[in-house]
Structure 1
Amino acid sequence: MRLKLLGLTAIFSLLSACSTTEKTPVVETVKAKPAVEVDLSAQDLYQKALSKRDFDKIQLLYTARDRAIEEQNWQLVITICEQLIESGGPDSVRNQLYIALAYTQQKDYHTALETLESLNAKLTSPMHFFLHQEIYGNIYSAQALPHQAAPYLIRASETANKHDFKADKVNKALWQVLNQLSIKQLEALNSGSSIQRGWVSLALYTQLYIGDATSLQAALNKWNYAYSNHPASFALPDNMQQIIDVQPINVNRIAIILPSNQSKQKALSQSLKAGILAASEKHPDRELHFINSALNAEQIAEQLNELAPDFVIGPLLKENIDKLQQAGTLDAYPTMYLNTTPQALESIDHFAFALNPEHEVTQAVYHFVNKEFKKPLVIAPGNRLGKRLANHFTNQWLEFSDNEPEVGFYANKRDMQKLVQELLEVDKSKKRIREISLMFRGKLHEETRSRRDIDAIYIIADAAQTRLLKPSFDVNISTFAKRIPIFASSRSHDIKSDKTDKKDLAGLYFSEIPWMLPLTGEQQSLRSEFDQIWPEHTTLEQQLFAMGFDAVKLIPQLRQLQMVPGKTLTGLTGDLTVNQDGDIERALKWAQYREKQIVTLDIKSQKPTPLFIKNHQQETQEAAL
């Protein structure tokens, strides 16, 4: 299993001169276990308790409950806690909190939230509040909502510090959450209690100085002076013996495994090579060695053994990645695959960089939800890719809304106009107009009406198809109705087509990699040079050039980006982050066609709150009124 957040604990090790106390479970036990029962499992203890009566039964049920928590036998925890509540055992609230904990561990977050909300007014002890906040925080963290998880885990950490609870797991969970936040999000949290400010300041120092050991050491010395005895100082793993300096990956020799110039993928390979070479111009002493990905695994292994590279980029095609993963050819080398990988990444120095179209579809969904659109319409070609991306949109959308999006697929260009009218129900309006016209001999003033529930349109189509679809929507949406914003994926954008005609796309929003949008500064100089040397490159080839460029640019910062998920690198293919599984993720830019130019927009597509959590939040607010 891939190691996660490797090296973050190094920061803590700089703050503590001694080893930590023994690791404790997430919850505290309340009953000492009789020596005679030390070797019994939770299930055995539970069965034994069922044979007892009154006080002896309750005592043994508490022992079985605590053992079940230690064993992470969550279904048994629920069963025992429910019996304790039914039998009137002491501290019913705590048992209900353990039930919520068990549901959380079983990923039944809906039931866990219902249980927590039923206890909001019943938290009579600091331990109740500590567990309550911890479980809430863990639920939000599991939904990849670190900005919502952080306040709960901070409150849990504050409570534990004030009342001297052992809270190793809370503190480590809080640290992971904070390191998934951007600098802007952290700065918004940098207030409140000394405990909160200490956590946030430490996370900020990490983002600002990770990879710069000298500056990080100075910042941590300052932090340690300001926040002595802070809980972060003790959130260390067992037996930490030395300081781990997080250093950039330094490379002098790179092996690049790509299709040869004689292959069918020649144009794609050459575009990637051009990007890699362009990014390497500032490193004239760096050696680049290209290996034909069509060679078998043994032949590639021989070449790598001879070269002894510091880093490997590639392969590009999934079948070649699978070939080398199965043979273990790249296990000993830090590697960046240029596609999604058939197998999971096992090495902490293996990464996957893919121009995955699902990334921007997800980004579009997030933007639509944040804009509070209720009923989007998705239109896509009826081929495999179109259906795949439309289904991805629908699946993502239904995490945040109970209204299914309207989806339509077209077979060809001739089918588009008819499909647009059907989706907007203009065809029905025209039919009604004809029926009414037959009833009257005089001339009628007529105007078709389009449906009113659609409040956003998302086009998944290539540039030529988009130039037909956008005007079709424009003419079929009622003139007296509110204009519906129309969005498209990057497939709709083509620089060559833009040179001749933009008027049909006026008002269209689309997501795109920065390389394909108006640039400034150093990137503009690179763009001008590219256009002079490769004026006839296709959109895909330009995207691969940008990918090759970013692949080289990423190498020195891969470890830091993975260790601090909130840290980003601005690249030609987007704002780049590395998740805990080693996948390089991209946040694209939004732009809009306005008159005769393209304007880049400052739109951040932050993940919204899932529907089931939003419903719980609303119910809680209504209950408080």
Structure 2
Amino acid sequence: MLSACSTTDKTAIAPQTVEKPTNKVANKQFDAQALYESTRLKRGVDKIQLLYAARDKAIDEQKWSLLEIISNELIKSQGVDRTQNTLYLALAQFKQRQYASALSLLDEQQDKMTSPVHFYWHQYISGQIYAAQALTLQALPFLFRASETAEKHQLPAQDLNRLVWQQITQLPAFTLQSLQQGSNIQQGWVNLALYSQLYVGNPIALHSAMNNWQRRYPHHPASFALPEKMQNLLEIEPFAVKKLAVLLPLKDEKNRRNSEAISNGILAATTFNQGNEVHFIDSEQNSDDLKLQLSQLQPDFIVGPLLRENISRLENDGVLTDYPVIFLNSSEQPQAAFEHFYFALSPEHEINQAIEHFLTEPYKKPLILAPQNRSGTRLIEYFQNQWQQYSEVKPEVALYSSTKDLQQQVRQLLEVDKSQQRISTINLMFKEKLHSEPRSRRDFDVIYIIADAVKTRLLKPYFDVSISTFAEQVPIYAMSRSHSPQVDKSDKRDLQGLYFTDMPWMIPNTHTAAELRSQFDSLWQDNNDLQQQLFAMGYDAVKLIPELRQLNALPGKGVQGLTGRLSVNDAGAIERQLQWAQYQKDSIITVERVQQKPTPLFMLEPLLNSVQNDIEAP
């Protein structure tokens, strides 16, 4: 942590080696609170020395609220380094999760820093704040500048180095490649993270890449990661699965077709070499019977259960604790074991992806349309909660109750009916007929439809004809549920221009497992959209098994599957990045849409000030 020597040493702040004050009052038997209380009896230099001792002790004891009090008192005193103590104050607020206040303090100090140490800690604390919010791309510029300053001025920076490595390994390879510019320090960090992703699982190539990196970047601060971290990567071995157990509701008539679809995907993904076994087990049996069956079978890996209530039951009963598992749904409980992973086709993934794109574009005010039912209300609430973390402008929300009079509902939503009433009123005032055209409201700049494929084919044309022809065209986006290969067999012209997200498996002509798609279409022509998605899910679950340990070790690493680009987060959840596509004339084409994790609203202003000032190290 931080350490400083009263008023005598202006290098002030050092991250690991805590330099204790030499005054006798800072004896070990006094804690930070006792030292601070004793300052009330002192004046002048003696009081300042005691405050410094109490401040250092508060850092050692991680008493952040006390550090905030002491730092504030020191800032008011004369003859002390106010910038240094303001940095301590920002640190204390950061540790108490007062992120906005800490960033404001740091922003105020940008033109007051007089030493490299000030600049180093200003950048380091700023980077920590953004890192704490999982804003890796926003954190890294601060952390890179801190790393460059520490290297240039020989400042101890072990904690910083660990944080840079932890953050940079969160990024996927294509993002890392875009950061391969800047200083030699930045390039060294980026290239080491990139090599660790590209060559993990290939010991010979990884070893060669690390040797090349060392020759190119001798004495680089990232060198700390080579011995331990690279050795860990070299030692990562994929799961060797000879005996796979699959837990599905096999005897549940309600879920029979869904279980068959997943089973077919699992079998399609399984390589049947000699000795490979796949055992399908009914997940509906009681926990004791299932536990006994698994102990007799001793599988190398388990896929399933599918139903969330079964996942909760088996986790609570400890049935699967000793096995590596991919659950085919999310869980309401924390990760039960280190090698338990959760694979769900969650619509929230799509909403997050859409919000990231809208804010990157940037669109200011979206209009969200959803059905007036439990699912529609839940997704609307999720969209609103996510959006309002990043924007002061509330999204416009509308719920439709039925397909009856749907056109009239859209006209009312866009206030075209009110415009028509105003036109009718004016026409009554004149004998001659006036040339007029209804105006739609223009206070939103993007439309997001949450609807199934049939309703989307009704809604999209109604929006097209209801939005004023002289107004700028408003882009319309939709979720995957708006796209149906079965419904698309009819005319697609009504959907012209509509953007949507979906798993690559469901988008035609994406060259994703084209041969497998052809075989699927010939074997299971009667499968509906959900069953096609579950087939892809079962296929990806098996194909992910050899990759899971690498994905778990490198959060930024991802693999392309039928259901999207797949990665694993810290909680063991498998996250999906879906494919963007657009209806154009009579076909569907894949498109690229820009998106980046947005900065929370309460952190946005300090970040903008930092970018505008473009501060340089002293």
TM class, shorter-length: over 0.9
Q: Find out whether 1:431 has 2:421 as its counterpart.
A: yes
1:4-42 alpha-carbon deviations (Å, 9 max, x no partner):
xxxxxxxxxxxxxxxxxxxx9568556347476213322
- The one of 97, 101, 123 equivalent to 2:87 is 97
Structure 2 distance, partners of 1:521, 1:298, is 45
Q: Find out whether 1:304 has 2:290 as its counterpart.
A: no
1:487 and 1:510 in contact (8 A); partners too: yes
SS of residue paired to 1:378: strand
1:26 and 1:170 in contact (8 A); partners too: no
In the TM superposition, residue 522 of structure 1 has moved relative to its aligned partner by: 6.2
In the TM superposition, residue 80 of structure 1 has moved relative to its aligned partner by: 0.6
- Number of corresponding residues: 602
1:336-395 alpha-carbon deviations (Å, 9 max, x no partner):
111111210042211111111001011111111111111110000111110111111112
In the TM superposition, residue 271 of structure 1 has moved relative to its aligned partner by: 0.8
- The one of 351, 361, 384 equivalent to 1:361 is 351
- The one of 379, 384, 388 equivalent to 1:389 is 379
In structure 1, runs of 5+ residues without a counterpart are 1-23
Q: Find out whether 1:141 has 2:131 as its counterpart.
A: yes
Q: Name the structure 2 match of 1:5.
A: none
- The one of 460, 468, 471 equivalent to 2:461 is 471
- The one of 246, 270, 290 equivalent to 1:256 is 246
- The one of 531, 540, 543 equivalent to 1:541 is 531
Q: Name the structure 2 match of 1:73.
A: 63
- The one of 280, 294, 310 equivalent to 1:320 is 310
In the TM superposition, residue 232 of structure 1 has moved relative to its aligned partner by: 2.2
Q: Find out whether 1:189 has 2:182 as its counterpart.
A: no
Structure 2 distance, partners of 1:489, 1:66, is 54
- The one of 395, 408, 415 equivalent to 2:398 is 408
Q: Name the structure 2 match of 1:448.
A: 438
Structure 2 distance, partners of 1:274, 1:196, is 47
2:26 and 2:53 in contact (8 A); partners too: no
2:445 and 2:474 in contact (8 A); partners too: yes
Structure 2 distance, partners of 1:446, 1:244, is 72
TM-score, normalising length: structure 1: 0.92
Structure 2 distance, partners of 1:242, 1:358, is 33
Q: Name the structure 1 match of 2:580.
A: 590
Structure 2 distance, partners of 1:269, 1:517, is 23
Structure 2 distance, partners of 1:301, 1:567, is 34
Structure 2 distance, partners of 1:117, 1:31, is 29
2:312 and 2:332 in contact (8 A); partners too: yes
Closer, same or farther in 2 for the Cα pair 1:450/1:143, shift >3 Å?
Answer: same
Q: Name the structure 2 match of 1:118.
A: 108
Q: Find out whether 1:566 has 2:559 as its counterpart.
A: no
- The one of 38, 45, 50 equivalent to 1:55 is 45
1:248-277 alpha-carbon deviations (Å, 9 max, x no partner):
222111111110144321111111111111
Q: Find out whether 1:45 has 2:35 as its counterpart.
A: yes
SS of residue paired to 1:413: coil
Q: Find out whether 1:108 has 2:71 as its counterpart.
A: no
Closer, same or farther in 2 for the Cα pair 1:613/1:280, shift >3 Å?
Answer: same
In the TM superposition, residue 324 of structure 1 has moved relative to its aligned partner by: 0.8
- The one of 135, 148, 152 equivalent to 1:162 is 152
Structure 2 distance, partners of 1:541, 1:27, is 59
Closer, same or farther in 2 for the Cα pair 1:493/1:614, shift >3 Å?
Answer: same
Structure 2 distance, partners of 1:310, 1:210, is 22
1:309-333 alpha-carbon deviations (Å, 9 max, x no partner):
1111111111100001111111111
Report the residue type matching 1:229 in the other structure: H
Closer, same or farther in 2 for the Cα pair 1:251/1:56, shift >3 Å?
Answer: same
In the TM superposition, residue 469 of structure 1 has moved relative to its aligned partner by: 0.8
In the TM superposition, residue 94 of structure 1 has moved relative to its aligned partner by: 1.1
Percent identity between matched residues is 50
- Once the two structures are overlaid, the 10-residue window that deviates more, 24-33 or 400-409, is 24-33
In the TM superposition, residue 545 of structure 1 has moved relative to its aligned partner by: 0.6
In the TM superposition, residue 540 of structure 1 has moved relative to its aligned partner by: 0.9
Q: Name the structure 1 match of 2:3.
A: none
SS of residue paired to 1:495: coil
Report the residue type matching 1:234 in the other structure: F
SS of residue paired to 2:513: helix
In the TM superposition, residue 505 of structure 1 has moved relative to its aligned partner by: 1.0
Q: Name the structure 2 match of 1:340.
A: 330
Report the residue type matching 1:611 in the other structure: L
1:458 and 1:488 in contact (8 A); partners too: yes
In structure 2, runs of 5+ residues without a counterpart are 1-13
2:200 and 2:233 in contact (8 A); partners too: no
Q: Name the structure 1 match of 2:7.
A: none
Structure 2 distance, partners of 1:157, 1:27, is 17
Structure 2 distance, partners of 1:535, 1:198, is 52
SS of residue paired to 1:414: coil
1:126-175 alpha-carbon deviations (Å, 9 max, x no partner):
21111111111112222322122222212212222333322221101000
Closer, same or farther in 2 for the Cα pair 1:476/1:238, shift >3 Å?
Answer: closer
Structure 2 distance, partners of 1:509, 1:227, is 45
SS of residue paired to 2:208: helix
1:600-620 alpha-carbon deviations (Å, 9 max, x no partner):
112243213333333223345
Q: Find out whether 1:269 has 2:259 as its counterpart.
A: yes
Q: Find out whether 1:211 has 2:198 as its counterpart.
A: no
In the TM superposition, residue 85 of structure 1 has moved relative to its aligned partner by: 0.6
Structure 2 distance, partners of 1:242, 1:179, is 14
Closer, same or farther in 2 for the Cα pair 1:34/1:326, shift >3 Å?
Answer: farther
SS of residue paired to 2:486: helix
Closer, same or farther in 2 for the Cα pair 1:43/1:35, shift >3 Å?
Answer: closer
Report the residue type matching 1:65 in the other structure: R
Q: Find out whether 1:511 has 2:535 as its counterpart.
A: no
Structure 1 distance, partners of 2:520, 2:145, is 52
In the TM superposition, residue 456 of structure 1 has moved relative to its aligned partner by: 0.7
Structure 2 distance, partners of 1:507, 1:538, is 25
- The one of 55, 72, 87 equivalent to 1:82 is 72
1:220-240 alpha-carbon deviations (Å, 9 max, x no partner):
233233333332233599999
2:75 and 2:85 in contact (8 A); partners too: yes
Report the residue type matching 2:406 in the other structure: M
Q: Name the structure 1 match of 2:5.
A: none
1:395-427 alpha-carbon deviations (Å, 9 max, x no partner):
222222211110000111125323312221112
Closer, same or farther in 2 for the Cα pair 1:186/1:27, shift >3 Å?
Answer: farther
Cα-Cα RMSD: 2.4
Structure 1 distance, partners of 2:602, 2:585, is 41
Structure 2 distance, partners of 1:287, 1:27, is 56
Closer, same or farther in 2 for the Cα pair 1:306/1:35, shift >3 Å?
Answer: farther
- Once the two structures are overlaid, the 10-residue window that deviates more, 320-329 or 95-104, is 95-104
